[in-house]
A and B are shown apart, each in its own frame.
Chain A
Amino acid sequence: MKFFRKSWQSQLASIGKYLVLTLASVICLYPFLWVVLSSLKDNSSIYGDPFGFPSSPMFENYAEAWKGADVGRNFLNSMTVCLATLLILIVITAMGSYILTRVKRSVLLDTYFSLGIMIPIHALLIPSVLIFKNLHLTDNLLGLVIMYTAVNISFSMFIMNGFMKGIPKELDEAATIDGCGKGQIFFRIILPVAKPGIATVATLAFLNCWNDLLMGLVLISSPHKKTLALAISALKGSYATQYGLLCAGFVISIVPVMLMYLLFQKQVIAGMTAGAVKG
């Protein structure tokens, strides 16, 4: 008798558990679904039937946002800046991390590089404007690439160091016996083995660059140089009453990160929580 009651209770608890989790998932997903549906409507159907499916999907909203609002250009700007940042960031932090973990350890430099984890990007805005004015790089995407690289160095070194420390020392030793120099060891052995670390750094840095607004706000002013985040914040002003178009711009801006998240979920989560665990 007691056995039956317990299983009945635990079944109820289990139903409750799935109810709560499903509700939470709906709360997380529905807003996005609403925007996607609305991106295929015109104003009158957004007003009239905000929760319904579009009766005749207006795909022209996307064409209009891409061409008319020039979101396409901003998309390319963001892509260029992010990829350039990733390339530089990965090369320099992999080299630096290799030295600090496998060739010459330095607690002082480790501490120095970890400083940046605690510093909010706000602290760099005012001086960075001045630096790039002096370098004649204001309103230049290169300025953004440099700043994004600089602010991502700390956590990249942190994650990269973790991976490099995990590679067995015997690999280097065997290679040394085979006559490899330290440089060769890096390119031929360490770099290929450290791929998971590089992937984690790359995904997290991509998200940071793609999603940043502040640095772009202070460094970029010309409309045709704006990144997607800047363009999205401007959409609200210029297309304030064309909600379908606004939603289409929104969807375009989040598709790359959504894809990236779904493809590299493991790295994204590893990266975001590794940074978190460091505080």
Chain B
Amino acid sequence: MSSKRKETLLAVGFLSPVFILYTIFLFVPLVNTGFYSLTKWNGVTERVFIGIRNYQELFQNSDYWITFRNTIKLVVVTLLIQIPVGLLLAYLLYLKTKGAKLFRTILFLPVVIAPVAISLMFSLFYNSEIGVFNKILETIGLGRFQTNWLSNTRTLLYAVMAPQVWQYIGLYVTIFLGALQSVPEELVESAEIDGAGKVRTFFFVVLPQIANFTNICVILCVTGSLKAFEHSWIMTGGGPGVRSAYLGVYMYKTAFVNSDFGTGSAVTMTIVALSLVITGLLNGIGRFRERE
């Protein structure tokens, strides 16, 4: 056997396990979801092809739009809190801080814990009998804000968002810290020698340098929100009704609780489409800015 043939044989042999597994269990299912979204199917009886009717019905369903709005609210809240706080903490760590490594280790810790566990922990904090949050409020003299966080319809959705926002701030701190460390030191030093204060240096010299990383963080906020499931599912089951459900929870409920796999697949496809479009858009903006 020639060495060229042997090499081809080896390439095929080495590549096929990963290729076959990936194709059968990731690529084909993905295509199938697209196909199922065009059918009426409860998982037991025959699938019936119905074209885009699932989508038409979905877009007229008020529950879908409630969960859609909740998801968008989550995107906005994570963008407004995680990115600025993450950037601020990263910048503080970057400023020749003693113990920066220890601080980073602590801040990143919640990121690695299962969302299920975090959600369980927060449902204990919100619990009306133990009421850790309420007791803390009382202790610091804000007792009048005490409420039943997961029942009060005004606080419900934000109470469900809080653990998710809290949990992942460390991820942004770490990404931004890496970004800040990649900024050439001479650039910062020369700006400070020119008399720009720390704040001005940050906004006019450092921030433009790390714009790409900010873009990545925005993408992460968006895709993370579109995937959100555990925090809502564990703490409230998405309820009452769908008031604290995100698109991911709505998909799960539709498909696996109500056994409507066709509509469930349609919800999934809207999640996938949204995340592809938004990621593509933000990547495009990033590239455009790079060329400028």
Q: Which residues of A contact B (CB under 8 A)?
A: 17-18, 20-21, 24-25, 27-29, 31-32, 34-35, 38, 46-47, 50-51, 91-93, 95-96, 98-100, 103-104, 109, 112-113, 115-116, 118-131, 146-147, 149-151, 153-154, 157, 181-183, 186, 207, 210-211, 213-214, 217-218, 229, 232-233, 235-236, 243, 246-247, 250, 253-254, 257-258, 260-262, 265, 268-269, 272-273, 276-277, 279
Residues of B within 8 A of A103 (CB): 7, 10-11, 14
**Segment among B50-58, B61-69, B74-82, B271-279 that sits at the interface with chain A:** B271-279
Given A120-B272, A250-B117, A272-B111, CB of A265 within 8 Å of CB of B105: yes
A80 to chain B, nearest CB (A): 17
Given A29-B109, A273-B178, CB of A127 within 8 Å of CB of B28: yes
Say which residue of B21, B95, B109 sits within 8 Å of A17 (CB atoms). Answer: B95
Say which residue of A91, A146, A250 sits within 8 Å of B25 (CB atoms). Answer: A146
CB <8 Å contact, A96 and B17? yes
**Tally of A-B residue pairs with Cβ under 8 A?**
247
> Which of chain B's residues 189-216 have a Cβ closer than 8 Å to chain A?
216
Given A25-B103, A96-B14, A120-B275, CB of A229 within 8 Å of CB of B120: no
CB <8 Å contact, B93 and A21? yes
Asked if B283 CB lies within 8 Å of chain A CBs, one says: yes
Asked if B32 CB lies within 8 Å of chain A CBs, one says: yes
> Which residue of chain B has its CB nearest to the CB of A132?
B25
Given A20-B92, A28-B110, A127-B33, CB of A93 within 8 Å of CB of B170: no
CB <8 Å contact, B216 and A276? yes
| Main SS at interface, chain A | helix
Say which residue of B89, B114, B275 sits within 8 Å of A213 (CB atoms). Answer: B114
CB <8 Å contact, B30 and A123? yes
Residues of A within 8 A of B279 (CB): 118, 279
A93-B18, A119-B30, A272-B171 given. 9 additional CB < 8 A pairs?
A20-B88, A21-B93, A100-B15, A109-B15, A122-B252, A153-B21, A265-B105, A276-B171, A277-B175
CB <8 Å contact, A126 and B171? no
A130 to chain B, nearest CB (A): 8
List 5 A-B residue pairs with CB atoms under 8 Å apart, sorted by A's residue number: A28-B170, A125-B256, A127-B29, A232-B120, A269-B174
Residues of B within 8 A of A232 (CB): 114, 116-117, 120
CB <8 Å contact, B166 and A27? yes
A111 to chain B, nearest CB (A): 12
How many residues of chain B are within 8 Å of chain A by beta carbon? 87
Residues of B within 8 A of A93 (CB): 18
> Which of chain B's residues 1-60 have a Cβ closer than 8 Å to chain A?
3, 6-7, 10-11, 14-15, 17-19, 21-22, 24-30, 32-33, 36, 43
CB <8 Å contact, B92 and A276? no
Residues of A within 8 A of B21 (CB): 92, 146, 149-150, 153
Residues of B within 8 A of A250 (CB): 117, 120-121
B202 to chain A, nearest CB (A): 13
CB <8 Å contact, A279 and B10? no
CB <8 Å contact, B36 and A127? yes
Asked if B124 CB lies within 8 Å of chain A CBs, one says: yes
CB <8 Å contact, B11 and A104? yes
Bound-state CA distance A104–B12 (Å) is 10
CB <8 Å contact, B120 and A236? yes
Say which residue of A47, A112, A217, A261 sits within 8 Å of B129 (CB atoms). Answer: A47
